[in-house]
Amino acid sequence: MCYTIALNFEDGVTRFVDCKPGEKVLDAAFRNKINLPMDCSDGVCGTCKCRAESGSYDLGEDYIDDALTGDEAAQGLVLTCQMVPSSDCVLSVPVTATSCKTGQQVFAATVTRIEPHHDAAVVLELAVNEGAAPAFLPGQYVNIGVPGSGDHRSYSFSTAPGDRSLGFLIKKIPDGLMSGWLARARPGDRLDLTGPMGSFYLRDGDGPLLFLAGGTGLAPFLSMLEVLARAGSRRHIHLIYGVTRDLDLVLVDQIAAYASRLPNFTFATVVADPASDHPRKGWVTQHMPEDMLTAGEVDVYLCGPPQMVDAVRHYLDENAIRPASFHYEKFTPNAPLKATA
């Protein structure tokens, strides 16, 4: 049995390598033609130091304290030349992918379904053309090349890792590059995807989760919810889905379906338009459950347009709310997602 190791580089590129039982991560990366930083490979210099974001592993005792102190190890820092995984792991690598002589993966996919939702969004489904389904972490995104333009747009996966059918929720933009292509696209059309990328992804844990989605920022949470449902998670999860207009509320039935698969899942939709008849109006910050936030145990995930992200961050700071962890990603309709955590 091999373990899957996700290597997240500081330039946003993520590469996945298989690690054999008893194999050290540094050796597994080299075997996969990824040159992680190293000088000695003997646990002496500390050059290969990374941070383990999740997973189980053994560091052994064959390294010196100058290379990795006890305090550093307690904080999740590891030496990849000594690290032997005993589960799938996610590592944060403090250098760029290009400096490790690797880069982004490119793969082809074929359009299988295009479903418009009024003038708000489009659900795009693709089938992977060849090889294995692309590996990614739930919440990450890819760059999708717009045929005939020489340009691309960035979209988060709305489906779970490992599926050969890939889903995306794309905001409709008047005269937008991707929106224009989708209006004339047909099943069978080919697209080139580059990725995965991004540091916005679901971390391991057993504490409560608060998901805050704005508009098509719902997409990464659908991926996360699917992963949690398949794992039989019993974590307390609350999703708040905020939009500008009633017509912007899409895929609500899909969200509601998770209530039967996740025993501790609840959600609320919020519409900002004061003229709406929606039962919850206003902004996401007006509907966040105080009991989840003030307990200090909740992991908060936030994805939406810059104004929403900044408003939530300001609200948390102004009210001195310190979640157990806080991960966010802001996006603009015509620019690649910028991941921040």
Mean of the per-residue pLDDT values of the chain: 94
Neighbouring residues of 331: CB distance < 8 A, sequence distance ≥ 6 = 154, 217, 303, 304, 305, 306, 337, 338
pLDDT (0 to 100) of residue 333: 63
128-157 mean pLDDT: 93
Do residues 225 and 157 lie in contact, with contact meaning Cβ atoms separated by under 8 Å? no
181-192 mean pLDDT: 97
Tell me which CATH code domain 3-100 carries.
Answer: 3.10.20.30
192-218 mean pLDDT: 95
pLDDT (0 to 100) of residue 341: 43
Tell me which CATH code domain 209-340 carries.
Answer: 3.40.50.80
pLDDT band at 160 (very low <50, low <70, confident <90, very high): very high
pLDDT (0 to 100) of residue 231: 96
How large is the C-alpha radius of gyration of the chain? 21
Q: CA 243, CA 284: separation in Å to the nearest integer? A: 9
pLDDT (0 to 100) of residue 210: 98
Burial (CB count <10 Å: 0-12, 13-18, 19+), residue 186: exposed
Q: CA 243, CA 283: separation in Å to the nearest integer? A: 8
164-174 mean pLDDT: 96
- Start-end ranges of CATH 3.10.20.30 in the chain? 3-100
Is the pLDDT assigned to residue 340 strictly greater than 50? no
132-144 mean pLDDT: 93
259-276 mean pLDDT: 97
Percent of the chain with pLDDT over 70: 97
Is the pLDDT assigned to residue 266 strictly greater than 70? yes
The residue to which tokens 């449902």 are assigned: 229
- Start-end ranges of CATH 3.40.50.80 in the chain? 209-340
Tally the C-alpha atoms within 13 A of residue 40's C-alpha that lie toward its C-beta: 13
74-84 mean pLDDT: 97
Is the pLDDT assigned to residue 334 strictly greater than 70? no
pLDDT (0 to 100) of residue 337: 41
- Start-end ranges of CATH 2.40.30.10 in the chain? 106-197
Is the pLDDT assigned to residue 191 strictly greater than 60? yes
Burial (CB count <10 Å: 0-12, 13-18, 19+), residue 237: buried
Q: Distances from the Cα of 186 to the Cαs of 178, 191, 279, in angstroms?
A: 13, 11, 38
Options 2.40.50.140, 1.20.140.10, 2.40.30.10, 3.40.50.280; CATH of 106-197: 2.40.30.10
322-339 mean pLDDT: 74
